[in-house]
Amino acid sequence: MDAEGDQAKGSEASATKDAGAEARAEGGAVWVPTSSEPIHFHWQLSTTFSYPRDVLPGDGLEVYDIDGQENDSSVVASLHALGPNVKVVCYVDVGTWEDYRPDASEFPSSVLGNPNGWPGEKWLDVRQQSILLPIMKARFQNWCVDKGFDAVEPDNLDAWENDPGFPITEAENISYDLAIAAMGHAMGLSMGLKNLPENAPSLEPNFDWALDEQCYQYDECSYFQTSFIPKGKAVWDVEYCQSPSCTQATGAHMNAQLRDLNLVGPKASGYEYDPCIPDSQSTW
């Protein structure tokens, strides 16, 4: 971990972690981000997040979505210390196996399927919930809850729409996705729906917000604009190949932006971040 100022933030991280644990013990409600005002979304996965190097200036509600395993509690605490309106999302891949994770050996070969296109990753047989859910629960606890994260971005919820190497049906995959959401909620974590636009209307009651990729490119934004947003839940859209229709997105109260495909940090080569609503603006 190359985050700056870890030692100085040590006690603060501990205090934040304890406060988060107390809130969950008291049965506090999970965070449900609103669609009534813009929420600036900073998504960084391909380069390790470093505080304060990768913090962006902003005004209003800010969300940082970073890797749960690779970032420690001091980073989460430092981001929370930026202000009361800063939330931190824990990225966890729940649908594919990654050979570089410390728990990679816990996945038996029977659940490993075809490569998913990213180096070192294979689709998981999500039909085998009795094997996968305990592993994911440990991830949620160790990577997200214990570090003080507010929410989880569960990635790769859509094996049946790809070529996973298993005859997974839509119903079987959705059953797993709902189990993931319920497990996170039981642990006090806000849960986001990642992609699955056509399923957004039926899955909205089970998720607290949505994050979609390229809904403007594929003409799929209406699925979220008629489900999550009318229920007052935030939706983020990230485009890679073309700019979103900002007039339409802003009018619909959807947070949309253009980003680089690798989602690198703001100081890294190739970084691109062009949101429809500037980070300095706090109204639609």
pLDDT above 90 as % of the chain: 88
Look up the CATH architecture of domain 62-258. Alpha-Beta Barrel (3.20)
- Average pLDDT taken over every residue of the chain: 92
For residues 128 and 134, the answer to whether their CB atoms sit within 8 Å is no
Identify the burial level of 246 via C-beta atoms within 10 angstroms of its C-beta, where 0-12 means exposed, 13-18 middle and 19 or more buried. middle
With cut-offs at 50, 70 and 90, classify the pLDDT of residue 143: very high
Contacts 24+ apart (CB under 8 A), 168-173: 168/125, 168/126, 168/127, 172/126, 172/127, 173/126
For residues 277 and 257, the answer to whether their CB atoms sit within 8 Å is no
CA distance 105 to 102: 8
Alpha helices in the chain (DSSP H): 10-25, 73-80, 129-139, 170-186, 200-203, 222-225, 246-252
The pLDDT tens digits of the residues spanning 74-114 come to 999 999 999 999 999 999 999 999 999 999 999 999 999 99
Give the start-to-end residue ranges of the domains of the chain.
Answer: 62-258
Between 282 and 11, where is the model more confident?
A: 282
> Cα–Cα distances in Å, from 78 out to 30, 133, 145?
21, 30, 16
The pLDDT tens digits of the residues spanning 193-213 come to 999 999 999 999 999 999 999
**Quick one: which of 247, 258, 244, 217 has its CA closest to 41?**
258
- Whether residue 27 is predicted with pLDDT greater than 80 in this model: the reply is no
- Whether residue 23 is predicted with pLDDT greater than 60 in this model: the reply is no
> How much is the average pLDDT of 121-128?
98
- Whether residue 174 is predicted with pLDDT greater than 50 in this model: the reply is yes
The pLDDT tens digits of the residues spanning 232-277 come to 999 999 999 999 999 999 999 999 999 999 999 999 999 999 999 9
What's residue 16's pLDDT?
A: 37
